[in-house]
Amino acid sequence: MKIQLNKESFSANKNQSLLTTAFEILLNNLGPQKTSRLWQILTPLRENYTVERRKLFKGKNLTSLYKKAKNFNKE
C-alpha cells in the first residue's frame, strides 16, 4: 500500500518539504501506527519537566507513589 501526501497542502518551505518526504517514506515503510508512535517519541515536549515535576509530585512521597503504582497495575 503506497501512501502519498498532497504536497499542495503544505508550505513551499524547504523544511516542510523535507518533512513531507520523510512522512511519505515512514508511512510507506512503517505504516500509520508505527509512524505515529515514532513521531510521538521524536517530538520534543513543550513543557519544562523540572517545573511540571514540582507541580505533579507536590505533597507526595515515594511511599504514596509506590502505593498508587501498585494499585494501578492491579487494574
**pLDDT band of 2, cuts 50, 70, 90:** low
Segment 5-62, tens digit of pLDDT: 665 544 556 777 888 888 899 999 999 999 988 888 888 767 777 888 888 888 999 9
Using DSSP, state whether 1 is helix, strand or coil: coil
Q: What is the pTM of this model?
A: 0.42
- pLDDT reported for residue 25: 93
- pLDDT reported for residue 63: 92
Domain range list for the chain: 7-74
Which residue type occupies 64? S
Separation of alpha carbons 44 and 40, rounded Å: 8
- pLDDT reported for residue 7: 55
Separation of alpha carbons 39 and 22, rounded Å: 11
Q: Are 23 and 35 in contact (CB under 8 A)?
A: yes
